[in-house]
Amino acid sequence: MYYLSKINIKQFVVLFFIMCSVFTSAQIGIGTNTPDNSAVLDVTSTSQGVLIPRMTQAERIGIATPATGLLMYQTDVTTGFYYYNGTVWTTFGSSGWELTGNTGTNSAVDKLGTIDGQDFILGTNGIEAIRIASSGNVGFNSTTPSAKFHLVANSSPVTLLDDGFEDTTINSFTTGGNAGWATTNVAGEYNTASWGAKSGVITHSETSWIEYNTTIPASGGTISFAFRTSTEASYDDFDFLIDGISQNTWNGNVAWNSVSYPVTAGAHTFRWIYAKDSSVDANNDEVYLDDVLVTALPEDALIIDDGSQVAGYVLTSDANGVATWEVPVGSSIIDTDWMFDSGSTVDDPIYHQGNVMIGYNAASAHNLQLWDGVSTSGSVIVFGDVYSIVDGDGEFLFMQQVTPTVDATYNLGSLTKRWKNVYTENGVVNTSDIRLKEAIKPLQYGLKEFLALDPVSFKWKEEKVNDFVVPDNEKEIKLGFIAQEVQKIIPEVVVTHQWKEYEENPGVLVKEKSERLGMRYNDLIPVAIRAIQEQQEKIEKLKANNLKLKQLLIGF
SS3 at position 254: strand
Q: Provide the greatest CA pair distance for the chain.
A: 200
Q: Please report the sign of the dihedral spanned by the C-alpha atoms of residue 344, residue 350, residue 351, residue 357.
A: positive
Please, which residues have CB within 8 angstroms of residue 446's CB and are 6 or more apart in sequence? Answer: 527, 530, 531, 533, 534
Q: Is the pLDDT of residue 148 over 90?
A: yes
**Residue range 25-51: mean pLDDT, rounded:** 86
Single-letter code of the amino acid located at 509: L
pLDDT at 308: 83
- Where are the domains positioned within the chain? 4-43, 120-152, 159-296, 304-343, 440-529
Contact 82, 90 (CB under 8 A): yes
Residues 183-222: tens digit of each pLDDT: 775 667 777 765 544 333 334 567 888 999 999 988 899 9
Q: Is the pLDDT of residue 392 over 80?
A: no
Q: Provide the strand spans (E) within 459-508.
A: 464-465, 468-469, 478-480, 494-501
Least confident of 8-17, 249-258, 264-273: 8-17
Average pLDDT, rounded, for the chain? 82
Residues 491-539: tens digit of each pLDDT: 999 999 988 888 888 888 889 998 899 999 999 999 999 999 999 999 9
**Residue range 258-274: mean pLDDT, rounded:** 93
Q: Provide the strand spans (E) within 78-220.
A: 80-84, 89-91, 120-124, 127-132, 138-140, 149-151, 158-163, 174-177, 181-183, 190-192, 206-216
What are the C-alpha distances in Å from 101 to residues 94, 98, 239?
A: 11, 5, 55
SS3 at position 540: helix
Please, which residues have CB within 8 angstroms of residue 121's CB and are 6 or more apart in sequence? Answer: 128, 130, 131, 132
- Cα-flanking dihedrals φ and ψ of residue 539, to 5°? -65, -45
**Residue range 323-348: mean pLDDT, rounded:** 68
- Out of 163-172, 290-299, 337-346, the most confident range is 290-299
DSSP classification of residue 472: G
pLDDT band at 2 (very low <50, low <70, confident <90, very high): very low
Distance CA 30, CA 41 (A): 8
Distance CA 286, CA 190 (A): 10
pLDDT at 199: 39
Q: Is the pLDDT of residue 257 over 80?
A: yes
CATH class of the domain whose range is 159-296: mainly beta
Distance CA 294, CA 162 (A): 7
SS3 at position 418: coil
More confident residue, 126 or 22: 126
Q: Whose CA is closest to 260, among 292, 219, 224? A: 224
Q: Is the pLDDT of residue 328 over 80?
A: no
pLDDT band at 343 (very low <50, low <70, confident <90, very high): low
**Residue range 122-128: mean pLDDT, rounded:** 88
**What stretch of H or E contains 281?**
none
Q: Whose CA is closest to 157, among 213, 220, 226? A: 220
Q: Whose CA is closest to 54, among 71, 34, 37, 78? A: 71
More confident residue, 471 or 182: 471
Distance CA 518, CA 91 (A): 102
> Could you please report the per-residue DSSP string of 426-450?
S-------GGG--S-------HHHH
**Residue range 328-348: mean pLDDT, rounded:** 64
Distance CA 435, CA 395 (A): 38
Residues 412-423: tens digit of each pLDDT: 888 888 887 888
Single-letter code of the amino acid located at 106: N
Least confident of 49-63, 310-324, 435-449: 310-324
Q: Is the pLDDT of residue 5 over 50?
A: no
Residues 347-363: tens digit of each pLDDT: 778 888 788 888 888 88
**Residue range 447-468: mean pLDDT, rounded:** 90
Contact 338, 355 (CB under 8 A): no
pTM across the whole model: 0.38
Contact 298, 272 (CB under 8 A): no
Q: Is the pLDDT of residue 167 over 90?
A: no
pLDDT band at 287 (very low <50, low <70, confident <90, very high): confident
> Could you please report the per-residue DSSP string of 202-223?
----EEEEEEEEEEE-TT-EEE
Distance CA 51, CA 53 (A): 7
In terms of residues, how long is the chain?
556
Share of the chain above pLDDT 90, in %: 34
Distance CA 502, CA 183 (A): 75
